[in-house]
Chain A
């Protein structure tokens, strides 16, 4: 399923050195201006709309500030973070291992690849409500939701990283008498580490989705609960502020991971 296009798309999309460099290196001026424009549009939209559920930008930002200062956000994120971090750790370790095994063993690949490809393409979110039947409505259920949504992308990317080691490097290691173990640890894994990390970054993004979904559907805690609660009391500025907060947190996290990835792997992905 990974065409050559997709592999260089993975390099290009959002992870472009040019891309990040372009707007990371640009003067803050342009980015701030863009943010202000969007906020301005929002404000205008809210003012022009008759929908009471469309809070103005200023009201939302005010609510955001309040929730930040009075510790509501802190409390909520403390709750959301738990299952998110545990789930991501599980998929990070388990997923990379699974991808590794699938990349190295033809049998494992035959068994696992179609399964994960199907899981990746499917709306597995539909399973989330079912989780309660097995795991109740607690911590475990939420961890399961995070794992369910983040695992396929991590496994598939790790697999691709391992299975697509450049032929030339493999031949070189054979020519210089590498043992099977040396081949795996000194050549295959380092060569695949870029894609593995990319998979982890994508997995983190999906993990956030899983955590939010779990909190909206399974059990009201953390940020999900904030969103649901404020909607139920029709406090739209606070509701939108909560939504804004998770978008910001997720984006910042993923952007930081992107920067890290660029620093760690970019020069090394250029062909030797």
Chain B
């Protein structure tokens, strides 16, 4: 089915050649620009800082998101109390917070890390909560009847049973985290790929712009599919829990 994307690329090529939209150069030009973008002097630095922000921010959201999610899933009270906040932030335009972060933390890596964290943590917490809540109580009882310690119960039974939802949350978190790092950089505009986007668009280097965008898109897609792969591997037991 993904072959239809080839059709879209073909359409892009035609649109570009006919110069229908000034923004869209022929797809072949974009392809040609890939090596240029990647080998430019600014790219490695931009990519590195973006990657750093993304990875550190995501690591934080995994830790906090999964932790909070487990708490919310195990305790009804915590679940509904915190749930209110998590739900509010999960559907809020967090973009609005970025300027505040810039004012508080400056224009650098810390702001980007926090942005990635804030964009992704809520959905991870929510989905972890759902996963934990849905663990079949008889599984837990079974574990206890065999004398499993609290820690073992948790890591071996609860987390494994909740894995499908957890992975779904992680996948969505990754996507949101990447959106966060891009939005953060667009607003900061002096660092990372955000800076590069700004540079290319200012100088109307469209092939380079789209090449960079596609690199990001591809990264997002690969990361998401990687998690989806694991999700599929564990989803076989999702329905029979």
Contact = CB atoms under 8 A, between A and B. Distances in A.
- Whether the complex brings A and B within 8 Å at their CB atoms is answered yes
Interface of A: 1, 3-6, 9, 12-14, 16, 19, 22-23, 26, 30-31, 34, 38, 51, 53-54, 109-115, 118, 120-123, 125-130, 133-134, 202, 205, 208-209, 211-213, 216-217, 223-224, 227-228, 231, 236, 239-240, 242-243, 246-247, 250-251, 254-255
B235 A250 contact: no
A114 B213 contact: no
Interface string B173-212: 0010011011100110000000001100100100001000
B49 interface: no
Nearest to A12: B130
A71 B2 CA distance: 51
A265 to B, nearest CB: 18
B100 A240 contact: yes
Given A3-B235, A19-B83, A129-B197, A247 B23 contact: no
Given A3-B168, A9-B130, A129 B91 contact: no
25 contacts: A3-B164, A3-B228, A3-B232, A5-B164, A13-B127, A19-B80, A19-B83, A34-B81, A110-B1, A114-B4, A114-B5, A123-B179, A123-B181, A127-B213, A130-B23, A130-B201, A208-B92, A209-B94, A213-B93, A224-B96, A236-B103, A246-B92, A247-B88, A250-B91, A254-B91
B217 interface: yes
Interface string B30-72: 0000000000000000000000000000000000000000000
A133 B204 CA distance: 9
A210 B76 CA distance: 34
B19 to A, nearest CB: 13
Task: Determine the interface band of chain B, counting residues with CB < 8 A from chain A.
Answer: 35 or more
A4 B201 CA distance: 41
A5 B99 contact: no
Given A3-B168, A129-B186, A133-B23, A23 B95 contact: no
B22 interface: yes
B82 to A, nearest CB: 8
Interface string B197-241: 110010010000100010011001100100010011001001100
